[in-house]
Amino acid sequence: MSEQSIFTLAVHAGERSTETTPLTGPDAGRSYTPVVTPVHHSVGYIYEDTEDLDAVFAGASENPVYTRYGNPTVNAFEAAVASLEGGAAALAYSSGMAALHGALLAAGARAGAAVVAAQDVYGATYALLDRLLASQGVTVRFVDVADLHAVSATLQELRPVALLAETVSNPLLKVADLPALARLSHEAGATFIVDNTFASPVLCRPLRLGADYVVHSATKYLGGHGDVLGGVVAVGRPEMRRALNEVNKLLGANLAPQEAWLAHRGLKTLPLRVERQCRNAAIVAEWLNTHPQVEKVNYPGLSSHAQHALATSLFGGERYGAMISFDLAGAGRAEVFRFMEALRLIQPATTLGDVYTLTLYPAMSSHRALDPETRRRIGIGDGLVRLSAGIEEAEDIILDLKQALRVL
């Protein structure tokens, strides 16, 4: 059978694989299955034959035994993400940060090892590397991943255990050349970890382009409704999931069953939402690009974007994502605050990828962990605003931006 569309996969993936219950009474021998995987709140599982339980502990099977080791509701969500990312398996976490931490540890980030990362990763990812892992003896180096020569030289110099990049960076919307970075990573013996949160599997499936671990903050597009905090790592081979799970059995950064259920429910409309969000973002980015109070718009769909051609080749030419960032002309913190406070429809909330259109001031929130000098060096100015397009009508989003810009 040819590969199913992502619209079809999103609706069905992960469901009805583990929930068959034998019928009792006269129909014994047959079974029934719920259409939607239920929420398994049970922490423990009992086995009729203790040898079966022993086999789970020995790692011979992945049946449930204790929710920190695995849970059927969480497994269903994991199977769905693996399928959407074109992977073999996935492991879910309590947040996107936990997923990144789990992936880095499983890749071998420990005292004496090195990790190379894109210089404009999400602020907390930067701090995880620069503060936490570095303080534990990991050598951390940030590079501009658009400069492949610099990446290659750094990888050859440090021979790191991992290279970490975001498909589309936060908040500058730079697009990473994933096939080239995968090749350079593997030549240097490094695991290539890709944070695909901004792109989502609707735009891009990094495992197919050479990534080893694909990480998501499931809090964003996968969940999509601003009501669940979660993370997930998709991998190309089942044994890689086992390695992640061995680490996580000790970290205990598990996605809770109720949250997994919500995220899985969100996933079913992921392609529908992202399609509309990308359409809205393209319209809003074009409008902002001609506005006299806007100095610069970062959006991979604009022909003026430095990596527009790369984005077209990676994302297929129809969609360029639903995240935009823009510099308000001559603005600093006070002007950005006035602009954000004047918005009526658009929510100034610290998240992205929701059905609602959202704005955020990176210097105050997502990239607060970086000192002002580092922010400036990587291009995050004091007038930079990030916008996550929702599923509303594009014209309504523009009307709100228009009236808010008038206060400046």
Ligand X SMILES: Cc1ncc(COP(=O)(O)O)c(C=O)c1O
In the block, which residue shows the tokens 């492991």?
91
Cα–Cα distance, 175 to 308 (Å, whole number) = 8
Cα–Cα distance, 384 to 362 (Å, whole number) = 7
- In the complex, the smallest distance separating the C-beta of residue 354 from ligand X, rounded to whole angstroms, is 12
Cα–Cα distance, 353 to 386 (Å, whole number) = 12
Cα–Cα distance, 208 to 358 (Å, whole number) = 31
- In the complex, the smallest distance separating the C-beta of residue 99 from ligand X, rounded to whole angstroms, is 8
Nearer residue to ligand X within complex by CB, 65 or 80: 80
Nearer residue to ligand X within complex by CB, 117 or 161: 117
- In the complex, the smallest distance separating the C-beta of residue 368 from ligand X, rounded to whole angstroms, is 12
Q: Are 367 and 356 in contact (CB under 8 A)?
A: no
- Asked if 195 is an active-site residue, the reply is yes
Given 45, 66, 68, 368, the catalytic residue = 68
Nearer residue to ligand X within complex by CB, 67 or 170: 170
Strand order in the sheet with 191-195: 89-93, 231-235, 213-217, 191-195, 162-166, 114-118, 139-143
- In the complex, the smallest distance separating the C-beta of residue 163 from ligand X, rounded to whole angstroms, is 16
Nearer residue to ligand X within complex by CB, 154 or 170: 170
- In the complex, the smallest distance separating the C-beta of residue 62 from ligand X, rounded to whole angstroms, is 25
- In the complex, the smallest distance separating the C-beta of residue 93 from ligand X, rounded to whole angstroms, is 8
Alpha-helical segments (H) within 85-220: 96-106, 123-127, 134-135, 148-158, 178-187, 200-203
Given 120, 177, 195, 327, the catalytic residue = 195
Tell me which stretch binds ligand X (CB under 6 A): 20-28, 33-41, 90-98, 151-159: 90-98
Q: Is 50 exposed, middle or buried (0-12, 13-18, 19+ CB in 10 A)?
A: exposed
- In the complex, the smallest distance separating the C-beta of residue 302 from ligand X, rounded to whole angstroms, is 21
In the region spanning residues 117 to 136, those forming contacts with ligand X, defined by CB under 6 A, are 122, 124-125
Verify binding: residue 177, ligand X, rule CB under 6 A: no
Verify binding: residue 229, ligand X, rule CB under 6 A: yes
For the chain, counts of helices (H) and of strands (E)? 16, 13
Alpha-helical segments (H) within 113-177: 123-127, 134-135, 148-158
Verify binding: residue 95, ligand X, rule CB under 6 A: yes
Cα–Cα distance, 32 to 287 (Å, whole number) = 53
| Segment holding 295, helix H or strand E | strand 294-298
N- to C-terminal Cα distance for the chain? Answer: 57
21: tokens are 């219950």
Verify binding: residue 231, ligand X, rule CB under 6 A: yes
Nearer residue to ligand X within complex by CB, 69 or 122: 122
- In the complex, the smallest distance separating the C-beta of residue 196 from ligand X, rounded to whole angstroms, is 9
Q: Are 333 and 364 in contact (CB under 8 A)?
A: yes
Tell me which stretch binds ligand X (CB under 6 A): 89-97, 106-114, 286-294, 381-389: 89-97
Task: Give the contact letters, 179-208, x = binds to ligand X (CB under 6 A), - = no.
Answer: ----------------x-xx----------
Given 122, 126, 221, 299, the catalytic residue = 122
Nearer residue to ligand X within complex by CB, 192 or 198: 198
Verify binding: residue 354, ligand X, rule CB under 6 A: no
Cα–Cα distance, 150 to 99 (Å, whole number) = 27
Task: Give the contact letters, 49-88, x = binds to ligand X (CB under 6 A), - = no.
Answer: ----------------------------------------
Verify binding: residue 359, ligand X, rule CB under 6 A: no
How many Å separate Cα 58 from the centre of its chain? 32
Given 174, 205, 220, 375, the catalytic residue = 220
Cα–Cα distance, 136 to 114 (Å, whole number) = 11
Cα–Cα distance, 366 to 126 (Å, whole number) = 10
Question: Quick one: which of 115, 20, 21, 37 has its CA closest to 76?
Answer: 37
Answer for which of 71, 191, 219, 245 binds ligand X (CB under 6 A) is: 219
Which residue, judged by CB position, is nearest to ligand X in the bound state? 96
Supply the residues annotated as catalytic: 68, 122, 195, 220
Binding site for ligand X (CB under 6 A): 95-97, 122, 124-125, 166, 170, 195, 197-198, 217, 219, 229, 231, 366
